[in-house]
Amino acid sequence: MKPKALIVLWLIVLTPLALMGWMGYERSVRDREMKHYQIQSLVQARLQSVDDLLHAWFESTEKELAQTIATLPDRPEKIREFLRNHPRLRQIVWYTPDGVRQHPPANAPLTDKESRFLERTLGTVPQPGKNGLAPFPKAAAPGEDPRARQGWFVWHSGTEMVHFFWMRDAVRGFTGLELEPTRLLSDIIARLPATGPDDGKTATPASRIRLIDSSGSVAYQWGLHEPAPGETALGLLPLSAPLASWRLEYFSAAAGADNPFEWLNLTAGIFALAVVLIGLGVYLYREHTREMRLAQQRVSFVSQVSHELRTPLTNIRLYAELLEEQLEEEQPEDSRARKYTGVITAECRRLSRLIANVLNFSREAEPAGKKLRRKTCVIDDLVRNVLTNFRPTLEARGIRIRFKPGAAHKVLADPDAVEQILNNLVSNMEKYATSGKRLDVESRQNGAATTLLVRDHGPGIPKKEQERIFKPFYRISSKLTDGVAGTGIGLPIARRLAVEHGGSLTLLPVETGACFKVTLHTPPAGETA
Amino acid sequence: MKPTLSAVKRLVLGLALALTVTPASARQINLDVALGTPVITAGKKQNAFLKVSLIGLEEEADRAPVNVSIVLDKSGSMGGDKIEYAKEAAIMAVNRLEPQDTISIVTYDSVVRVILPAQRVANKAHLQNRIRNISAGGNTALFAGVTKGAQELRRYLEATRVNRVILLSDGLANVGPSTPSELGDLGSSLGREGISVTTIGLGTGYNEDLMTRLAGYSDGNHYFARSASDLVTVFNNEFSNVLAVVAKDVRVIIHCARGIRPIRVLGRDYEILGQEVSVDLNQLSSRQEKFVMLEVEVPEGLEGQSRDVASVDVNYLDLKTQRNDALNGLAAVKYSGRQEEIRRATNKKVMEKAVEQVSNEMSKDALKALDQGRVQDAQKLQEKNVQLLKDSATKYDSSYLGGLKSEAESDADAFREVAPSMEPGSSAPASPMWNSKRKELKERQYKREMQQQY
């Protein structure tokens, strides 16, 4: 009983804790995932807006460059002057529709820069064919329409990434503008935001966006958050063409780390709950053990006293019976004296039963062993015996006893145990169910099984109490039991005896009153001797 | 762009040996085209120096409005005195501006902050307060800093303004592009846009190659401020230069006459296309002389014969009249057999500058050799340099060249001292003394070749 109660108590304490902890953990995981997702989409949106900004800028630049090509003069010296006035451009290459290189001039002296340009781009910038409309072979990104009239061509030369904007048409031929790489980067940086004032007033958590070039180094960054070395980016977005090998990285302090308070809250909650539950558990356990202890003390006290009472009681009973016989012989007519002795013996029997119960109950602590003392007996005789004993008191209360015998075979059984079971059942009936004015007892025998039914027609037992009444010291707390003396061990002992006897004691559902069913294992007496 | 009628007349009437075009009275620039040796030995192919010199005239009133962006390094290394002096210098600079001018202030560390978006100089106290609030810390995103500075300038970018980014840095760029060539490209592109970048290197931690190239390609100035306390002077000088700009987009085109072979332009970036040499000078301030020193090969000639060497066109934007203007000049040589005549005709001033430029080129070569770990080559070059200056000082009886010679000698000493610490093939030594010397040298070379005013 004790370790079981402890386990139950611990379960009561630990289960909600574990449940809450698990739920808290689940929730925080979900929260984190949610938050992570939200942050991710926020980050992606921010990076996307940067990419959109650059994309829009490239588009407008394309228009400007197309415009630039439209205004391109045709004489080399004019083109050179033109270049001087266009700080974004490094060089211009132009093939007429019939495939002649107009600039840098194919048949006129070249400047150093122009010669270097031709060397640098040898094999990179194609020599268009006769119609001047040959596509940029390596140029075009995969999937680019070879008939496109304009586009970007990006190549890496050394550490530089060179952007080339080209156009072609039947009138002008093929024109390519080589952008000054550092100027292009500078223009991009100029379009990107600067870092705001460091006043700590901004509502959003400090962040840092980095523009990473194709070699993986930081080309530009902005934002107040200073990422620690090795800090991983929260978000990453490759830029769209023609900056396809570049990417954006997003760093932020607040979003990166878990909120420590979240865990604090959870642990604090669990801790508080644990304290409450453990307190409650300890209280319940102490209450429980106190009651148990008290009951045990009571029982052990009573059993000690009972031991002491047994000898004098036996003597009283012996002499009372002797007295009864004596009176019968000497004064058969004095019914009053006989009545007195009858009461004395009846009460002695009652007391014996009580003592037997108490001793039986305290025997529980004894090691389980052969407690039954089987003898050859007839169950019906035992029943009649018990009923005879109770008859005076029951009839005094106006209760009619009906016995329907059905177990007349000689069987091996412990008569003390059987009698005690019946005693307890009938004594209960006497205590609680006298209002029914009836006691029906029935016995049956079927092979090695004997069944006894004890039924009253009293108030019955409420459904929820039906199992608990078999527990020791449990007494239904109601008007029913008020003012009735009882030890609360009658039914448990009866059940235990029945179980020890290879059977059971159960409560049968009936419409009125209570019907106890006792089954016993009773091997026929002839087989074993 | 076309020569005016009066200029043509002057050309025709001009002296046979060398000709100076006197500009019209309203002009902001004086053009002086002169040969170092207007009379040369007959019967022999030889080299001559042609100096095309532009002098900004003194400006009494109405200066051109300026559009300045001050880009300050506020990385961790600028902490303490440096940032305080830089702020003081910037505040002082703001004081010199007037309501017609525009200013913006950008700071950079790992990131770039636009402290003061481009605006007219209306409320100086407010501007100065914003500057005072700058504090140091972080990395060095120099490229982005210059970019943002230039972007601020673009809000008020006008051809008739003096558009200038003033960059202060005390450290190495380490975020974004950070090689001298990349920054040079940026400078070149900004220069074509009409923005020049002045670079101020503070202390001994910056990359002088990067800073001089950035300034050089955009035709800005370059200063080496040894200590933070020099910054106020440097800023003052820079603003004196900025506030006195009289002409912009100055382009010199030298058409060499037939038979004359252009060899090289000393110091400056140039383009040679056939007989035509063109050089961009970008801006010219009042009382500033900028020149193009062209070395040409003159074919042999008979005694008494004259030969045209080159005609010169100068185009520029006059900031006072806000109009494009042009100047022309012409130079010719005479062949002679008499040494005395040749010697007497020699233009000492031109030769001094020519020798200075040649010496400067040698000094640059020596430094380059040193950078590449060719210590002995460097020392030899520098000795040759000293010898050239010594010979020339005697030849032209020039105390100016004598001064340059002592300077070159002290450079040679520095090269010798630094030599033991240099392994052949290794990169430049990091001794603090050499570090400082190299920066000083770079600054001097830069100022010589660009004819920086201060």
Tens of pLDDT, residues B101-112: 999 999 888 888
Q: Is the pTM of this model over 0.95?
A: no
CB atoms within 10 A of CB A342: 14
Smallest CA–CA separation between B106 and chain A, in Å?
10
Ordered by where they begin, the domains of chain A are: 2-60+206-256 (no CATH), 72-187 (3.30.450), 369-521 (3.30.565.10)
β-pairing verdict for B222-225 and B195-202 = parallel
Tens of pLDDT, residues A180-195: 888 998 999 988 888 8
Return the residue matching tokens 């923005």.
B195
CB atoms within 10 A of CB B76: 13
> At B52, is the pLDDT very low, low, confident or very high (cuts 50, 70, 90)?
very high
- Please, are residues A362 and A300 in contact by the beta-carbon 8 Å criterion? yes
As a whole number, the mean pLDDT across chain B is: 84
Highest mean pLDDT among A161-165, B321-325, B347-351: B347-351
For residue B190, which residues of chain A lie inside 8 Å, CB to CB? 87
Let me know how long chain B is. 454
Among residues B214, B145, B142, B213, the alpha carbon closest in space to that of B171 is found at B142
Q: How far is CA A219 from CA A211, B17, B107, B215, in A?
A: 6, 56, 17, 21
Partner residue facing A221 (CB), from B111, B151, B185: B111
Query: What average pLDDT does this structure show over B365-377?
Result: 87
- Can you give the pLDDT at residue A229? 81
If you count residue pairs, one on A and one on B, with CB atoms under 8 Å apart, how many are there?
84
Query: What average pLDDT does this structure show over B195-202?
Result: 91
Tens of pLDDT, residues B231-271: 888 888 898 888 888 888 889 999 999 989 999 998 888 88
Tens of pLDDT, residues A329-371: 887 777 788 788 888 887 887 788 777 777 776 666 554 445 6
Q: SS in 3 state form for A11-60? A: HHHHHHHHHHHHHHHHHHHHHHHHHHHHHHHHHHHHHHHHHHHHHHHHHH
Mutate to test the interface with A, among B148, B195, B252, B253 (most CBs of A within 10 A): B148
Whether pLDDT at B317 is above 50:
yes
β-pairing verdict for A400-404 and A438-446 = parallel
- Can you give the pLDDT at residue A137? 45
Question: CA B416 to CA B370: how far, in whole Å?
Answer: 11
- Can you give the pLDDT at residue B176? 83
CA B286 to centroid of chain Cα atoms: 15
**Contact across the interface for B189 and A197, Cβ inside 8 Å:** no
Question: And the tokens for B11?
Answer: 């050309």
Tens of pLDDT, residues A245-273: 889 998 887 654 556 666 777 788 888 88
First to last CA, chain B: 31
For residue A109, which residues of chain B lie inside 8 Å, CB to CB? 273-274
- Can you give the pLDDT at residue B356? 92
- Can you give the pLDDT at residue A258? 56
Q: How far is CA A292 from CA A12, A285, A465, A485, in A?
A: 20, 10, 20, 19
Smallest CA–CA separation between B329 and chain A, in Å?
22
Q: Is B159 on the interface with A (CB under 8 A)?
A: no
Query: What average pLDDT does this structure show over B411-417?
Result: 86
Q: Is A311 on the interface with B (CB under 8 A)?
A: no
Helix (H, G, I), strand (E, B) or coil at B122: coil
Return the residue matching tokens 């010397």.
B437
Q: Which residues pair with A237 in a beta bridge?
A: A248
Among residues A421, A412, A416, the alpha carbon closest in space to that of A452 is found at A421
A37 by Cβ neighbours in 10 Å (0-12 / 13-18 / 19+) ranks as exposed
Q: SS in 3 state form for B170-226? A: CCCCCCCCCCHHHHHHHHHHHHHHCEEEEEEEECCCCCHHHHHHHHHHHCCCEEEEC
- Please, are residues B168 and B198 in contact by the beta-carbon 8 Å criterion? no
Listed by number, the residues of chain B in 3-22 with a beta carbon closer than 8 Å to a beta carbon of chain A are none
**Contact across the interface for A183 and B189, Cβ inside 8 Å:** yes
Tens of pLDDT, residues A395-413: 888 888 889 988 888 888 8
Indicate the Cα dihedral angle A45, A50, A51, A53, nearest 10°: 120
Contacts of A78 (CB under 8 A, 6+ apart): none
- Written as one letter, the residue type at A522 is T
Listed as ranges, residues in chain A with pLDDT below 70 are: 1-3, 123-147, 197-204, 254-262, 361-371, 473-487, 526-529
Question: CA B73 to CA B90: how far, in whole Å?
Answer: 12
Let me know how long chain A is. 529
Tens of pLDDT, residues B132-152: 888 777 778 889 999 999 999
- Please, are residues A151 and A66 in contact by the beta-carbon 8 Å criterion? no
Mutate to test the interface with B, among A195, A202, A214 (most CBs of B within 10 A): A195
Ordered by where they begin, the domains of chain B are: 5-60+265-345 (no CATH), 66-243 (3.40.50.410), 349-450 (1.20.58)
- Can you give the pLDDT at residue A347? 81
DSSP assignments along B291-306, one per residue: EEEEEEEEPP--TT-E
